[in-house]
Chains A and B, each alone.
Chain A
Amino acid sequence: MASVIHIMERYEAGSGLKKALELSRTEVIRQIRESGIRGRGGAGFPTAVKWNLCAAAQSPKKFLVCNADEGEPGTFKDRLLLTERPEALLDGITLGGYAIGAKLGVIYLRAEYAYMKPGLEAALAARREAKLLGKKVLGKDFEFDIEIRMGAGAYVCGEETALIESLEGSRGEPRNRPPYPVNTGLVGAPTSVNNVETLIACAHIMAKGPEWFRKHGTDVSTGSKLLSVSGDCAKPGVYEVAFGTTVSDILKLVGGEGAKAVQVGGASGRTVPAKQFGRKLGFEDLATGGSVIVIGPQRDMLDVAENFLDFFVEESCGQCTPCREGNPKLLEGVLLLKRGKCSVGYLRELQNLGRTMQVASKCGLGQSSANAFLDITEHFRSEILGRVPATKE
């Protein structure tokens, strides 16, 4: 039985930053590498590799951008961190900036979180006062400040290159990669984009050492993960668990036993049917930014698919054809299924379309928007075929 752990709870303000500034930049990155931490925003790229590439890039200007765009349906752990753990976050941004050689950190805060801005601004002002930000951070030869920039309501801007476009004053349309932001990022300068939770974990790692971090989780997925649990369960909320925890353990923890499916990783994640509840959370199996939506037995899986596809149709930036044209087609297919008007042959065509979108779309949005459709049409065939719709009133 899994249990909640609390390794990311207690944090003394400034402690990780103080430790980091006593070390060389290379040594900071070495310790982060030693911890094995991978990005918490969903993609799971090793943070030390990102920082190292950014540190190695030659440029007079560099940026560390904190991705606080948290838009994945069912994700809200960054909300909690931004409101309840600002000190650890600001430490993480500052020491990350030190490691890569940046003078400015930018928090890209989603428009929906505008109510958090005054609190964060106050925390920044207090840190300038306490010399945790400024010309000489903690009296060392290191200049750093942090700015908050607001999003304006676009899920795709959580994608790091779209985020950079948005910061530059453009439509949030993802760029081709390469070049990667670590070489050509914000205004062409090397930029490291990191998730809120990742940066907080890095502050803890610097304060407590990489060994402490490695004690939790699995070999491939070290440390703990914050889960945002919602949907049909008795105790929704944010939970910290070790990587490697199974879906059924999580259901026990949150009072969601009896679920018929669990959506892991949000709308762009995977729909896990009950027979696969033994699967583990982690980069080796169910990778997730932390969204866990419990789907109770009373729910219609086609409603789930429809809700997610509505989301993607609306949030697709429209730049590339597979995503722009594919999502409406899949949505249309779900509506056909709902009316009991879809042949297995046509369903197979839609599934092929979904797989094409996964490989042919330009960014992560289009590459993952067909996931739920594919999972639901594979695992819940008996539920979705041959429907006789209720007669209209």
Chain B
Amino acid sequence: MLATERESLRHEIAEMAEKYEHKRDGMMPILEAIQEKYRCVSDFAMQEVARQLGVFPTEVYGVVSFYSFLSTEPRGKFAIRLCRTLSCDFAGKKEVARQLENELGVKFGGTTPDGLFSLEYCNCLGMCDHGPAMLVNNDVYTEVSPELVSEILEKYRRMFGPASQLEEAEAHHG
């Protein structure tokens, strides 16, 4: 991470901590905001949050590692979560899972080399009457079929023109 990026992250965390009066109960909203913007909570971010809230960095790590929507490693720009729970399983999640892997070229738990998509399972999304259900960031998709998978992915690829894709890939690897 560049020094200027660190500086701006430090500044953002300080501002959020101020809003929550540097109290510990500000932890979750702060971590969630960092995750949303940076797709992970880095070591540096955890140290800064700890400093601002007056707790040990290990405690922040304890929280980040507990929740499945927080991560220390960067997720894709678009985090795909496919429901693996019973009703969606009945509705055909296995076929959808296979096609997702085919289209993305990565297995569950992986991230595409361009950093655009990460793929993982999640538990019941509360859409069991319209399974198989899937989240892409905060967007919900229901009754997903293998045929629909490429269409959905294409939509997100298009939101990201070739030029910006390149930038993203660099940011991800650099």
B126 to chain A, nearest CB (A): 4
Contact of B24 among A152, A169, A237, A311 (CB under 8 A): A169
Give the residues in chain B near A114, CB-CB below 8 Å.
138
Does any Cβ of B come within 8 Å of A73's Cβ?
yes
- List the one stretch of B105-113, B128-136, B148-156 in contact with chain A: B128-136
B84 to chain A, nearest CB (A): 7
Give the residues in chain B near A115, CB-CB below 8 Å.
138-140
**For residue B90, which residue of chain A has the nearest CB?**
A231
Q: Is the CB of A154 within 8 A of B129?
A: no
* Chain A positions 104 through 139: 1 when the CB is less than 8 Å from some CB of chain B, otherwise 0: 000000111111000000000000000000000000
A272 to chain B, nearest CB (A): 15
Q: Is the CB of A231 within 8 A of B53?
A: no
Does any Cβ of B come within 8 Å of A166's Cβ?
yes
Contact of B87 among A110, A231, A315 (CB under 8 A): A231
Q: Is the CB of A154 within 8 A of B66?
A: yes
Q: Is the CB of A230 within 8 A of B126?
A: no
- List the one stretch of B1-9, B95-103, B117-125 in contact with chain A: B117-125
Q: Is the CB of A228 within 8 A of B53?
A: no
Q: Is the CB of A169 within 8 A of B126?
A: no
Interface centre among A155, A230, A311, A317 (most CB of B within 10 A): A230
Give the residues in chain B near A236, CB-CB below 8 Å.
128-130
Give the residues in chain B near A153, CB-CB below 8 Å.
67-70, 122
**For residue B27, which residue of chain A has the nearest CB?**
A169
Does any Cβ of B come within 8 Å of A168's Cβ?
yes
- Chain B at the A interface: SS class: helix
Do A113 and B126 form a contact, CB below 8 Å, given A172-B67, A307-B85?
yes
Give the residues in chain A near B24, CB-CB below 8 Å.
168-170
Does any Cβ of B come within 8 Å of A98's Cβ?
no
User: Which residues of A57-80 have CB atoms within 8 Å of chain B's CB atoms?
Assistant: 70-76, 78-79
A391 to B108, CA, bound (A): 26
| Count of chain B residues with a beta carbon within 8 Å of a chain A beta carbon | 38
B24 to chain A, nearest CB (A): 4
A187 to B24, CA, bound (A): 10
Give the residues in chain B near A155, CB-CB below 8 Å.
123
User: Which residues of A78-98 have CB atoms within 8 Å of chain B's CB atoms?
Assistant: 78-79
Does any Cβ of B come within 8 Å of A229's Cβ?
yes
Q: Is the CB of B126 within 8 A of A152?
A: no
Does any Cβ of A come within 8 Å of B63's Cβ?
yes
Give the residues in chain A near B147, CB-CB below 8 Å.
none
Does any Cβ of A come within 8 Å of B31's Cβ?
yes
A85 to B63, CA, bound (A): 33
**For residue B65, which residue of chain A has the nearest CB?**
A171
Does any Cβ of A come within 8 Å of B146's Cβ?
no
Do A228 and B129 form a contact, CB below 8 Å, given A168-B24, A169-B25?
yes
Q: List 8 A-B contacts (CB under 8 A).
A: A73-B128, A78-B126, A149-B29, A150-B32, A167-B25, A229-B129, A267-B86, A317-B66
- Give 9 A-B pairs besides A168-B24, A169-B28, A304-B86 with Cβ atoms closer than 8 angstroms: A113-B126, A152-B31, A152-B67, A153-B70, A155-B123, A169-B25, A228-B128, A231-B128, A296-B90
**Chain A contact residues, CB within 8 Å of chain B:** 70-76, 78-79, 110-115, 149-155, 166-172, 187, 228-232, 236-238, 263, 267, 293, 296, 299, 303-304, 307-308, 310-311, 314-315, 317
Q: Which 9 A-B pairs have the closest CB atoms?
A: A169-B27, A152-B67, A153-B68, A230-B128, A153-B69, A236-B129, A230-B87, A171-B66, A76-B126
